[in-house]
Structure 1
Amino acid sequence: MAEKEPCKQHELRVVVLGAKRSGKTSLIDRILGSGDHSPRTLQTRQGEVGGRAVVMVDTVGWWRNFMLVDTAEFIKQKLQLSVSMCPPGPHAFLLTVMTDIPFNEDNRRAIEEHLSLFGENIWQHTIVVFIRGGTLEGKTVEEHIKSEGEALKWLVEKCGNRYCVFEIRNSENDQASKLLGQIDTMIRVNDRRHFQADGSTLREVEDKTKTVTEKAADRRMNRKEEMQRQGKVLPKSEITILMLGWVTSRKTTAKNIILNRKEGCCTERTKSAEMHIGETEGVKLSVVDTPGWWKYFPAQATPACVKEQLQKSLPLASQTPHAILLAVPADTTFLEEQRKITEDSMMMFGEQVWRHTMVLFTCGDLLADTSIEEHIESEGAPLKWLVEKCGNRYHVFDGINRGDGSQVRELLEKIKKMEALNESFAMYQAKEDSTPENETLGKVLHELWEENNVMIAKEIEMSCKKSLTLPPNCSNNNENPVVGTCDLSEEYKLAFKREIARQETVAKERFWRMYLSDDDSKTCEHDLQAEEKIEGIRYNWTREWCRQLAIRTEGPDRYFQHTGDIETSWSCQHHGVKMGALETPVKKRKMSV
């Protein structure tokens, strides 16, 4: 048990936790002043508030609807190590929750599971901080908690009913003073004892981190030496690339980076194999984008329409593409189930496909100061198997900071070297055995995915408008977006829920970044004080989303007409809003899976 600290006004040590984009960094900025926002998974900030020394630890966030099992191992380790960044331990944890985004059971469970990394006693040291209280629109925070339902009520009660509202657009210092006063009250209730992590668990994480760092350095050095041994290759005038990977693995984003195109705004999955042409520094690039297989379901459950398009992709890529890029997001786990699904899905192209394949890690910007080699080593045997199966060939794409195009040039250089070793090899498509049961499962999953896509679209729309003045008939639907899974077994229901969590995350991120330049992305990721920029983005979000709805439904009444000065007020008028038309009835099915 931690020792009591002296009664004098001691140094205050605080760890700030929360989901991605929940305002953690902005909260620290308002309390301590704006600091260094270079990408880091952990950062200690120090300052004075009212003559008192305050230490705050900014932490990496998790995706707000991800189960703990789907959060990358390096993120879990960084979260656990945060308590050692302010020795001998933090007095308080501040848990940030946005008020302008619906809070549902998935979000509650994500918080509960991620905070379990610290042990059960973390809750008696935690205060919920509601960020952007200005969007409560005249409601008290108590009314907001009640309106959000049981999930948020559970969270507040789990934290001993300790909560406050912090408006990051308000520069008044009394907010910080009130929050620190609330922390002091909690410290007195805890008999002035700071939080103390389990010593054996913390040492285990520290030892694991040290081992990962050493192995990552060896892997990086070995890869560098291997690239040097391969030497230079002759220039090529044309390169053909085939993109593969599970659904929502950011294949399409990677394709846009390669071809130097802006990100699209459609939330729907890629449905057909299509070739896209571009040019980089005099080299003609042909990139074939393809539909993805499931991340959590066996390869045999891949929908027939997806398999058909994957088989069509080879002729589009002239049977022998110069490279197959296997997209794997770097912001999530790669477990044995993903290894097996990936291996089985690649079998349709024959065993020799691996000689042409390179792992392309997407979402590299979310690694922050963690190297890709550290991510590979921390994930363990499954991901290491995949990289080694591809001849230790891998590359990382930063989805936000495209820079001067050097990441694409480096990729093309790696492709040339790989292709030089395989120029006489031609791939073939292996015949796949399938059963009626798997075909039925694939069909059901495909239909469920399409239905849930509409539900996610609705949730995105409502999130955009929650800060607006809504018409009387537009109430917030805070239900989980997963629908129609009654025909699935419990195991498959959970797997599908994880699929949808990823789909929802990718869809919302795509809209978030749609109107951002590289510099804006950095600002909005790490400094939410730029509220004018954020509000402008939300306004464009809503306009573009309504345009997409109009296109999809072929009805002009899908548009919202906005009036008023967006920079000074979110009180906008809406006309012709028909929320009921967004609903897609769930088809009844008689089969059971």
Structure 2
Amino acid sequence: MSAKGNTKKLEDIRLTLIGRKWSGKSIAGNTILGCEAFHVDDETIKNTTGHGEVAGRWRVTAVETPGWWKPFDPRETMELTKMKIIQSVSQGPHAILLVIDMDTVLEEKSTNAIESHLGLLGGDVWDHTIVLLNYGVWRKTFTTVTDYMDKRGNSLRKIIKKCGGRYHLLNNTDRTSDTQVRELLIKVEKMVTSNGGKFFELDAALAQSVESKMKAVRENAKRREDSAIIERNALSEMYQGEDHRLAEIRLMLVGWTLSGKTSVADTILGVPTAEKTKTIRSTERRGQVGRWAVRVVDTPGWWRFASLNETPEMVKQELVKGVSMSPPGHHAVVVVVCACIAFTEAHLRAIREHISYLGPDVWRHTLVLLNWCDAIGKTSVEEFIEGEGKALQWLLGKCENRYHSLNRDDGPSQVTGLLEKIEWMVAGNSVLRLHRPEMEEWEDGGTVIDSVPVEAQLLELVEKMCRQREAEFWESIRRVVVIPEKAGSIADPPYFSNEVPPSFEEDTDYESSSDCYSMMSHSLQEAETQEGII
């Protein structure tokens, strides 16, 4: 069918607005619909639908999608974001509007990001795409789109060419006339006509794959959340009313550069966020948070994907220094992870190498803190973890499923939750209990060898036996070794370094004990030998 004279008339038009973060998708959608259907001041973190009527002729449905960071390719975009972008076109839009902000420079790297993200939707996506050029002050600098492309390079020209030369200018500062919107919808009708009257159809296999993944994410997230609750309840039962609370909590923040460690420290201590500066030295800060006296050590970060060998010696020295800054030792090492970008195998390798640098026992005292969870909105942190895949899940497994989330909106309650989890982690490390088998090391191919599953009933039985044995041999343990009042106690966890803690004599038979559990295990063996058990 010819596009001239026989343009297919549409009464209902479905549009999907796609683009990077802060490209103006929300305000463009409001301009098209003629109403405030989308929140302009908030970051779009889920597919949002708006409706409107234009010129008394078209009923328009517009879907705004979450965006990607400007220079990022899909490997660096969160998995849930990519799945939402794919799901946004599942209803078959007549047009995909690729929103580009004309008031900013479109660089070659950003062009590659656009191409690769639209490529997620399938090969024929460009046949159904119109470039929507958002602008506000653009006209003060350039007279035409050609003038813009001539002066700012060929990146935009390349994108427009992939769309068959289709583009439209949209002035979001002037809504006095609907002429520019009517012209856009006429272009949509012409494009549909040139496509044989067809709208965009997502590949059925791709749609089914995404739906299956989303279902698995929800189910696994529920299991992860339930597992954390079961673990907490088991500890509560083990203590049986005994007080596990701490008067003081000492923690160390570690993570890559720009992960937000300093802002996390501000949030924990309840102080206004300071001016953004790079942390180059390990520093300790103190404050009273609810019922706790809190000491926070902020450390320099490593580059996001840097191996331990690539990290400057000064940074490694500051990490080691940070371990000793809050004597007699930290209750927790908190690994700060950004929840606003993808967590990849490269992130995992960097974290694993730098945390392990602090000693083999450090993982038992480590908790993962997912920062900037505003980026995932109402999506649960468990769904984020399951959606990101094996790398992040491996890290959580290494930390025995200890994690917490922070955002800018939840207030002091989220800090209270973090400190309570640290209390329970310390309690768990200070009693004799059965530990799950260690996970296998992450392989170069990016696969994880799962640990052997432990049947729930068997685990419960063995833990019960352990508690009975602990009670039976308690007096024997006391006869074999006298544990100093503070060493290995809940209130004063040991050092992570290889140095002998100051509470032990130089000629002690113990090397650096990682915690109360290691001391008790050693003593239990001696007690059992003395009693003729072994």
TM-score when scaled to structure 2?
0.74
Match of 1:427 among 476, 489, 495: 495
Residue aligning to 1:307: 316
Q: Partners in 2 of 1:334 and 1:342 — Cα distance?
A: 11
Q: What per-residue deviation string (whole Å, max 9, x for no partner) do you get for residues 322-364 of structure 1?
A: 2111011112222333222221111121111111111000120
Q: What per-residue deviation string (whole Å, max 9, x for no partner) do you get for residues 124-181 of structure 1?
A: 2111222233333152233222222122221222222222222222222333222222
Contact persistence 2:343–2:392 (CA under 8 A)? yes
Residue aligning to 1:588: none
Q: Which moved more, 1:100-109 or 1:180-189?
A: 180-189
Cα pair distance change 1:226/1:422, threshold 3 Å: closer
Residue aligning to 1:29: 30
Contact persistence 2:45–2:375 (CA under 8 A)? no
Residue aligning to 1:110: 113
Letter in 2 for 1:200: A
Match of 1:285 among 284, 294, 304: 294
SS of alignment partner, residue 16 of structure 2: strand
Letter in 2 for 1:144: Y
Letter in 2 for 1:238: E
Equivalent positions of 1:171-210 (< 5 A) are 171-172=175-176, 173-210=178-215
Q: Partners in 2 of 1:288 and 1:243 — Cα distance?
A: 6
Shift of 1:282: 4.5
Cα pair distance change 1:160/1:319, threshold 3 Å: farther
Letter in 2 for 1:27: A
Residue aligning to 1:161: 165
SS of alignment partner, residue 83 of structure 1: coil
Match of 1:219 among 210, 224, 245: 224
Q: Partners in 2 of 1:260 and 1:350 — Cα distance?
A: 31
Percentage of pairs with the same residue? 34
Contact persistence 2:73–2:116 (CA under 8 A)? yes
Contact persistence 2:95–2:130 (CA under 8 A)? yes
Q: Which moved more, 1:34-43 or 1:374-383?
A: 34-43
Letter in 1 for 2:424: K
Shift of 1:227: 2.5
Match of 1:270 among 279, 301, 309: 279
Shift of 1:235: 4.2
Residue aligning to 2:348: 339
Equivalent positions of 1:47-86 (< 5 A) are 47-51=52-56, 52-84=58-90
Residue aligning to 1:11: 12
Q: Partners in 2 of 1:196 and 1:9 — Cα distance?
A: 17
Quick check: 1:371 aligned with 2:373? no
Q: Partners in 2 of 1:149 and 1:133 — Cα distance?
A: 20
Letter in 1 for 2:428: L
Quick check: 1:409 aligned with 2:416? yes
Q: Partners in 1 of 2:146 and 2:270 — Cα distance?
A: 48
Residue aligning to 2:174: 170
TM-score when scaled to structure 1?
0.67
Q: Partners in 2 of 1:353 and 1:235 — Cα distance?
A: 21
SS of alignment partner, residue 57 of structure 1: strand
SS of alignment partner, residue 22 of structure 2: coil
Q: Which moved more, 1:5-14 or 1:330-339?
A: 5-14
Q: Partners in 2 of 1:186 and 1:201 — Cα distance?
A: 24
Contact persistence 1:330–1:361 (CA under 8 A)? yes
Cα pair distance change 1:108/1:254, threshold 3 Å: same
Contact persistence 2:247–2:293 (CA under 8 A)? yes
CA RMSD of aligned residues (A): 2.2
Cα pair distance change 1:99/1:36, threshold 3 Å: closer
How many pairs are equivalent?
421
Cα pair distance change 1:6/1:95, threshold 3 Å: closer
Match of 2:98 among 72, 95, 100: 95
Contact persistence 1:348–1:430 (CA under 8 A)? no
SS of alignment partner, residue 26 of structure 1: helix
Which one has the bigger helix percentage?
1
Residue aligning to 1:566: none
Residue aligning to 2:146: 142
SS of alignment partner, residue 361 of structure 2: helix
Q: Partners in 2 of 1:97 and 1:18 — Cα distance?
A: 7
Letter in 1 for 2:418: L
Shift of 1:15: 0.7
Q: Which moved more, 1:300-309 or 1:169-178?
A: 169-178
Letter in 2 for 1:188: T
Q: What per-residue deviation string (whole Å, max 9, x for no partner) do you get for residues 394-420 of structure 1?
A: 01111x32x432111111111111122
Shift of 1:261: 2.9
Higher normalized contact order (CA 8 Å, seq sep 6+, divided by chain length): 1
Quick check: 1:391 aligned with 2:400? yes
Q: Partners in 1 of 2:141 and 2:155 — Cα distance?
A: 22
Q: Partners in 2 of 1:250 and 1:410 — Cα distance?
A: 19
Unaligned runs of 5+ in 2: 1-5, 431-487, 500-534
Shift of 1:40: 4.4
Cα pair distance change 1:167/1:228, threshold 3 Å: farther
Shift of 1:234: 4.5
Q: Partners in 1 of 2:263 and 2:109 — Cα distance?
A: 26
Contact persistence 2:19–2:99 (CA under 8 A)? yes
SS of alignment partner, residue 175 of structure 2: coil
Greater Rg by CA = 2
Q: Partners in 2 of 1:430 and 1:158 — Cα distance?
A: 60
Letter in 1 for 2:253: M
Contact persistence 1:364–1:397 (CA under 8 A)? yes
Equivalent positions of 1:522-561 (< 5 A) are none
Residue aligning to 1:441: none
Cα pair distance change 1:332/1:319, threshold 3 Å: farther
Contact persistence 1:291–1:310 (CA under 8 A)? yes
Q: Partners in 1 of 2:61 and 2:186 — Cα distance?
A: 15
SS of alignment partner, residue 95 of structure 1: strand
Q: Partners in 1 of 2:104 and 2:262 — Cα distance?
A: 27
Q: What per-residue deviation string (whole Å, max 9, x for no partner) do you get for residues 462-515 of structure 1?
A: xxxxxxxxxxxxxxxxxxxxxxxxxxxxxxxxxxxxxxxxxxxxxxxxxxxxxx
Cα pair distance change 1:145/1:205, threshold 3 Å: same
Quick check: 1:151 aligned with 2:158? no
Letter in 2 for 1:219: R
Letter in 2 for 1:35: A
SS of alignment partner, residue 341 of structure 2: coil
Q: Partners in 2 of 1:259 and 1:144 — Cα distance?
A: 49
Letter in 1 for 2:19: G
Unaligned runs of 5+ in 1: 432-593
Q: Partners in 1 of 2:93 and 2:293 — Cα distance?
A: 55
Q: Partners in 1 of 2:383 and 2:424 — Cα distance?
A: 24
